[in-house]
Amino acid sequence: MPPPPTAALSSSSSLCLFPLSSYSSPKKTQLGFCPSFPFTRLTNFTPTRRLMTCSAVSIEKETLISHRPHTFLRETDGLDDGSVRSRFQRMIMEVQDSVCGALEAVDGAGKFKEDAWTRPGGGGGISRVLQDGDVFEKAGVNISVVYGVMPPEAYRAAKANVTDQMPGPVPFFAAGISSVLHPKNPFAPTLHFNYRYFETDAPKDAPGAPRQWWFGGGTDLTPSYIFEEDVKHFHSIQKKACDKFDPSFYPRFKKWCDDYFYIKHRDERRGLGGIFFDDLNDYDQEMLLSFATECANSVVPAYVPIVEKRKNTPFTESHKAWQQLRRGRYIEFNLVYDRGTTFGLKTGGRIESILVSLPLTARWEYDHKPEEGSEEWKLLDACMNPKEWM
Q: pLDDT tens across 271-321, in order? A: 999 999 988 999 999 999 999 999 999 999 999 999 999 999 999 999 999
Is beta strand 10-12 parallel, antiparallel or unpaired with respect to 15-21? antiparallel
Q: Which pLDDT value is given to residue 30?
A: 36
CA distances from 165 to 27, 67, 169, 213 (A): 20, 44, 13, 20
Second-level CATH architecture of 61-382: 3-Layer(aba) Sandwich (3.40)
Q: What is the mean pLDDT of the chain?
A: 81
For 314, half-sphere exposure in the C-beta direction (CA atoms, 13 angstrom radius) is 0
- Each domain of the chain, given as residue ranges in start order, spans 61-382
Residues 6+ apart with CB under 8 A from 2: 42, 259, 260, 262, 264
Query: Which residues does residue 64 pair with via DSSP β-bridges, in sequence order?
Result: 117
Q: What confidence tens digit (pLDDT) does each residue in 278-290 have? A: 889 999 999 999 9
Distance in angstroms (rounded) separating the CA atoms of residues 303 and 323: 18
Please tell me the pTM assigned to this model.
0.83
Q: What confidence tens digit (pLDDT) does each residue in 342-382 have? A: 756 765 666 787 788 999 999 999 999 999 999 999 999 99
> Out of 67, 70, 192, 319, which one is annotated catalytic?
192
Q: Which amino acid is at 195?
A: Y
Instruction: Check pLDDT > 90 for residue 119.
Output: no
Residue 70 catalytic?
A: no
> Closest Cα to residue 275, out of 303, 304, 231, 239?
239
Distance in angstroms (rounded) separating the CA atoms of residues 256 and 246: 16
